[in-house]
Structures are given as C-alpha cells and as structure tokens.
Amino acid sequence: MNKINSLFANSKDKKLLSLYFCAGCPTLDGTADVILTMQSRGIAMIEVGIPFSDPLADGPVIQSAATKALKNGMSLSKLFSQLKAIKDQVEIPLVMMGYLNPILHYGIEAFCQSCIDAGVSGAIIPDLPFDDYLNIVKPVADKYDLRIIMLITPETSEERIRFIDDNTDGFIYMVSSASITGTQKSFDEQKQEYFRRINSMKLRNPRMIGFGISNAQTLKAAQDNAAGAIIGSKFVTLLNENEGNANAALDQLFEALRS
C-alpha cells in the first residue's frame, strides 16, 4: 500500500503533523539529516520542497528559502540523488512539493519514476491545472502508484471540491486561506466557517490543513477540523535561524506549538 494511504488508514484517531522544508536550504547537503531527524521526532509526513525561481503561492519566507537553495546548487536531479541515498531508512511518507515548470523540464514520466526510485509517495504541484492532471499527469502517476495531491481553498466551489475528491487519492490539501503561505496568530470566524462547511461535505479523502499554522491555537483549529496540520513557513524560519540544525529547530517549533 502507498505510504500515504497507509498513514491515514492507521491514524484515524490521531492528530497528524506534517512539516515542509525546502531542499537545499540552508545547506545543500542537509536534506537527509532534516528528514531523518523529523522522522525520529515523530513527524507523520514530510513535504520536501523543490526550489523554484518563481514560487507564486508562497510567501517571503519560502521564496527566500527557494532562492538560497538554488544559489546553493540544489536541483531536482540532486534532490532525487539525496533522497535515494536514505530511501531504506525512511518509513514515513515523503511528498514532493514543487511547481510545474521544473517537473515538466525533468519529464512527467521521469519524475514519477524518480519519485518511486527515491521512496517518495506523492507530489503536490500547486500550479498544475486540474484538466492537465486528469488527462496527462494522473495516468502516469497511477502507473507508478504515486499520489498527486490537489489543493482546495475557501474560494473553491463545492462542485469542484467534490470533483477533486472523486478523482484523487491520498489526501486533500486544505489551504486555510486564499492568500500566500505564512504564519497567522489565529483563524478568524470566516476561516472557521470554511472548516465547518468542508466538514459537513463528508468527503471521501482525508484532509490536511495548511498555510498559517504556527502556534497552539492555529494547530488545534487545524487538527480539530481535519486529519492533521501542515506547517511550512514557521519551520523553514526556525531551520534557517538554527543554521540547518533540525533538532534545535524542532525543539523551538514544538515549544511554539504549545503556546
């Protein structure tokens, strides 16, 4: 069974925590240590960011991380090589997070093949049009048992959400707001209503809530309204501040999530 499906099948009553980091930042060769440290500290799933020069959905923290990673020499080929080297040590799901342009340049089939060779279970491609997903990407991904994760936002129509739910597998990435990534102190009533609305739809796929989670209040809101939470900008900031020391960054993250 795909590791993503296995995670949610075996974690129905748990509040999952997934973290994002940008491969190649703050150091080119830190990928393996960050992943293995997160796994040892109980992180349920990891999003491995593919650095790109024009990350439209991301805020300044992740944009800066991508710029630094590219300057450090990170590439998709380099990243796959790093992941392949630790494949046998990684037990939790790895999900590649990146934009369409580098993946198209690499080749859709080559990308899916490399994901499986490197122990990757899924991919999130924020700017992948859904029609292209259905007609071009999904048939290839299905061939390799790779899950392509789609995003929904407060502006996504119910019809579209149900269409996504019917045509994807793994989980749905539920973006907390229609804005770019970044931390928030709390989720207002408008966002809470969005969470309740999606809950009432009784979707087939589990959901993970991301964008803006950085403290106890936002973490609880996400975990109360979905299978779990995804944290990106907060962890990327702490990882940079600690010069790539993932243990120290996680210590500070867990402290922030208690307050």
Tell the burial category of 190 from Cβ atoms under 10 Å away from its Cβ (0-12, 13-18, 19+): exposed
Dihedral angle sign, alpha carbons of residues 50, 54, 59, 61: positive
- The active-site residue out of 13, 29, 33, 47 is 47
Give the number of other CB atoms < 10 A from CB of residue 40.
11
Please, which residues have CB within 8 angstroms of residue 221's CB and are 6 or more apart in sequence?
Answer: 186, 187, 191, 192, 195, 209
Would you call 142 a catalytic residue per the annotation? Answer: no
10 Cα distance to chain centroid: 19
42, 149, 34, 45: which is closest to 83 by C-alpha?
Answer: 34
Distance CA 217, CA 259 (A): 8
- The active-site residue out of 13, 29, 54, 58 is 58
Distance CA 131, CA 250 (A): 38
39, 38, 46, 117: which is closest to 77 by C-alpha?
Answer: 117
Would you call 158 a catalytic residue per the annotation? Answer: no
Residues tagged active-site: 47, 58
